[in-house]
Structure 1
Amino acid sequence: MELFDGYSLRIEIVGIVVAVFAIAAASTYLFFTKKSKEVIKPYTPTTLDSDVGYFELVIKMYPQGRMSHHFREMRVGDYLSVKGPKGRFKYQTGQVRAFGMLAGGSGITPMFQVTRAILENPEDQTKVHLIYANVTYDDILLKEELDALASNYPKQFKVSYVLNQPPEGWNGGVGFVSKEMIQTHCPAPAPDIQILRCGPPPMNKAMGAHLDDLGYTKEMQFQF
């Protein structure tokens, strides 16, 4: 499926009959060789271990991106080398009472996967509070899916959108994610909560400073 400046890709796992991307928020490494040089890039699938036989990626396209250019040239039926999962974050059911999530752009993918893992497990009552920042409305990835989760699990999942350049009539957040937004939408500092963040480096740095100022300890924070 083509998005505003990206694609949602489904990749079939050939010759493997079990789910191999079962670790929520772990990265999958895609790679190909061009002119004797290997190009490799990590992506976080939006699918779970219950999605057997394939995995899906949401990918932003960049004019100078070598992997982006390769994806543009690929056609249905082409092969791509994959390895993984790999990552420092390994979610376990009930590890915290609540998550706050601060995402920017394609940084939504690990948040989406963790959120799905929580909400689709009837034994997991963890609450999730997501703040998702983008430049324009058309930049919002997975909006339909996020809104559906918020509608289907209103007691567990809340999502707040923030735009730098909002359209006329926009009633969400405007500008950059602020300390006030975090205080309003995320769980307060406590030993049984965690704030996850994933976005462009400047955003990650700013969010880390906000969280420190608001009293979130290092143990309460995780950056993908």
Structure 2
Amino acid sequence: IARPYTPISYDSNHIELLVRRYETGTVSKHIHSLNEGDTLRIRGPLESFPYKINCVKHVSMIAGGTGIAPMYQLMTKILSSPNDKTSIQLIYASKDNQNILLKKELDQLLKSYPDQLRIKYLVDRANEPLTPDVQVGFMDEKQLETVLPHTNTKYPFKILVCGPDGMIRSIAGPKLSEEKQGPVGGILKHMGYNDTQVFKL
């Protein structure tokens, strides 16, 4: 049994994985049962989105749940490169405000790069008092309109989408396989975005 996971670090000397434990997840439960010193067989890496410095002027990231992992990896790569001037807008949906994965790390990046990074957090419900940067809401067209570049924006941009299959399907149309994107569909198609502007991770 094998499952694909995206390292959240961009370092040639070590990797960090974000793995949420699911009761029905054979691999995630196994990983969470491991102790320090245990062995885990890993193959790869398999590059899904080849990024080159300043290949676009702006990247919009639409993430849900553990779909934040590849976004965080790319985000840290861009922001840690002094010559990369790409701006980033993240809109990140979680079930509730107690389960916003990597929030401390994301907030630290926001603090360190306020002119290059913007973040909007959405939660389905609030389990505790909301902070000003988190709002209750769903990832619909109205929310996306507030953060995405207009379809006829003159500068080059890319919209990245990652999260549960149902979310990707609703926002950008189904991803056919790990190797095949499939045409843009869902909300982004309705908004007028095309296949060259959208990438499903």
Task: With the length of structure 1 as denominator, give the TM-score of the two structures.
Answer: 0.78
Task: With the length of structure 2 as denominator, give the TM-score of the two structures.
Answer: 0.87
1:62 equivalent in alignment to 2:19? no
The residue correspondences of 1:192-211 to structure 2 (distance < 5 A) are 192-208=156-172, 209-211=186-188
Alignment partners' CA distance in 1, 2:92 and 2:98: 13
Structure 1 residue 136: deviation in Å?
A: 0.9
- Per-residue CA shift, 1:19-78, capped at 9, x if unaligned? xxxxxxxxxxxxxxxxxxxx21110001113xx432101111001211122123211011
Unpaired runs of 5+ residues, structure 1, are 1-38
Whether the 8 Å contact between 2:157 and 2:197 is mirrored in structure 1 is yes
1:174 equivalent in alignment to 2:118? no
Structure 1 residue 174: deviation in Å?
A: 1.8
Whether the 8 Å contact between 2:97 and 2:128 is mirrored in structure 1 is no
1:183 equivalent in alignment to 2:148? no
1:79 equivalent in alignment to 2:56? no
Whether the 8 Å contact between 1:132 and 1:162 is mirrored in structure 2 is yes
| Percent sequence identity over aligned pairs | 35
Whether the 8 Å contact between 2:160 and 2:198 is mirrored in structure 1 is yes
Alignment partners' CA distance in 1, 2:2 and 2:84: 35
Structure 1 residue 221: deviation in Å?
A: 0.3
Structure 1 residue 111: deviation in Å?
A: 0.4
1:40 equivalent in alignment to 2:2? yes
Structure 1 residue 169: deviation in Å?
A: 3.8
Secondary structure (helix, strand or coil) at the match of 2:43 reads strand
Question: After TM superposition, which residue ranges in structure 1, 4 or more long, deviate above 2 angstroms?
Answer: 167-173, 186-191
Structure 1 residue 220: deviation in Å?
A: 0.3
Whether the 8 Å contact between 2:53 and 2:84 is mirrored in structure 1 is yes
> Letter of the aligned partner of 2:123 in structure 1?
L
RMSD: 1.4
> Letter of the aligned partner of 2:194 in structure 1?
T
The one of 39, 46, 62 equivalent to 1:102 is 62
Whether the 8 Å contact between 1:45 and 1:110 is mirrored in structure 2 is yes
Structure 1 residue 93: deviation in Å?
A: 0.5
Alignment partners' CA distance in 2, 1:214 and 1:64: 36
- Per-residue CA shift, 1:172-220, capped at 9, x if unaligned? 3323112121111222223611110001111111212121121211110
* Larger displacement relative to structure 2 (164-173 or 101-110): 164-173
